[in-house]
Amino acid sequence: MNKIKDNSRVYFGNPLPPTGEYVVDPVHSFAEFATQHLIVGQVRGRFNSISGEIKITDEPLLSSFQFSVDTASIDTHHSGRDADLRGPRFFDVQKYPKMTFSSTGMKVEPGGNFTIEGDFTIRGITRKIIAALKFSGVVQDPWGNTRMAFQTRAKVNRKDFGLLTDLQKETGGFPIGKDVNIKTAIEATLKK
């Protein structure tokens, strides 16, 4: 039977994982996105390959988060659209095989919620973004690993990263969402 670790670390009402360096579990971590399509709908998708490292420090706000996503792993449940997204009009995966996030700071917002700020790089273009962060727990898994989980939410403008800025011409004037909502659900294990 799995035991929930006793986690007495609490910061502004937020439970915190034990200090240390964690490695993202790519099998149990997800990066998903959604954007507006033709006013009434949405296009949703995910990236199937994510890696990274997290360092949780004694002072929680000095913790750091590093993520890397293989852009070729994009999956929107439509092979033609995925091929287009991998091409030079969008992610240009041959030239830019990774998109990355590297945190530069962490804050506690009113109400006790965390946000992380960092450098988000797509197609060689880096912009500062802010993401909401919520830790969801720590567990001792069946293999003896200390495993923690958290979720993030952020919104970016695809035009800030040079991702096809003239889509409306192709849709007969219908607006295509420039804002992309990104959500991650991450599990990571403490390095032994």
Tens digit of pLDDT per residue, the chain (192 long)? 344 444 457 777 777 889 999 999 999 999 999 886 555 556 889 999 999 999 999 998 999 999 999 999 999 999 998 998 999 888 999 999 999 999 999 998 877 789 999 999 999 999 999 999 999 889 999 999 999 999 999 999 888 887 665 554 554 444 556 789 999 999 999 998
Query: Hunting for tokens 């880096």 — which residue is that?
Result: 126
Q: How far is the C-alpha of 109 from the C-alpha of 116, rounded, in Å?
A: 10
pTM of the model: 0.86
Closest by Cα among 118, 112, 115, 107 to 150: 115
What is the rounded distance in angstroms from the CA atom of residue 35 to the CA atom of residue 43?
A: 5
CATH number of the structural domain spanning residue 17: 2.40.128.110
What is the number of other CB atoms lying within 10 angstroms of the CB of residue 161? 21
In a domain, 5, yes or no: no
User: What pLDDT is attached to residue 122?
Assistant: 93
Residue 186: closest CA among 121, 137, 113, 116: 137
Task: Tell me whether residue 133 is in a domain.
Answer: yes
pLDDT confidence of residue 67: 97
For residue 27, report the phi and psi dihedrals to the nearest 5 degrees.
-75, -25
Question: What's the confidence (pLDDT) of residue 171?
Answer: 47
Note the pLDDT of residue 178: 76
pLDDT (0 to 100) of residue 2: 44
Residues sharing a CB contact under 8 Å with residue 8, sequence separation 6 or more, in sequence order: none
Distance CA 190, CA 22 (A): 4
CA–CA gap between residue 146 and residue 17 (Å, rounded)? 9
Number of domains present in the structure of the chain: 1
Is residue 3, in this structure, part of any structural domain at all? no
Structural domain includes residue 168: yes
CA atoms of 145 and 55, how far apart (whole Å): 16
pLDDT for 43 equals 82
Does residue 128 sit within a domain? yes
Contacts (Cβ under 8 Å, ≥6 apart) of 69: 31, 47, 49, 50, 98, 99, 100
Structural domain range at position 141? 10-190
1 falls within a domain: no
Residues 52 and 25: beta-carbon distance below 8 Å: no
Do the domain assignments include residue 140? yes
Residue 3: per-residue pLDDT = 46
Assess if residue 4 is contained within a domain: no
User: Is the CB of residue 42 less than 8 Å from the CB of residue 175?
Assistant: no
Distances (CA, A) of 16 to 110, 125, 133, 136, 153: 18, 32, 12, 9, 18
In angstroms, the CA 160 to CA 12 distance is 34
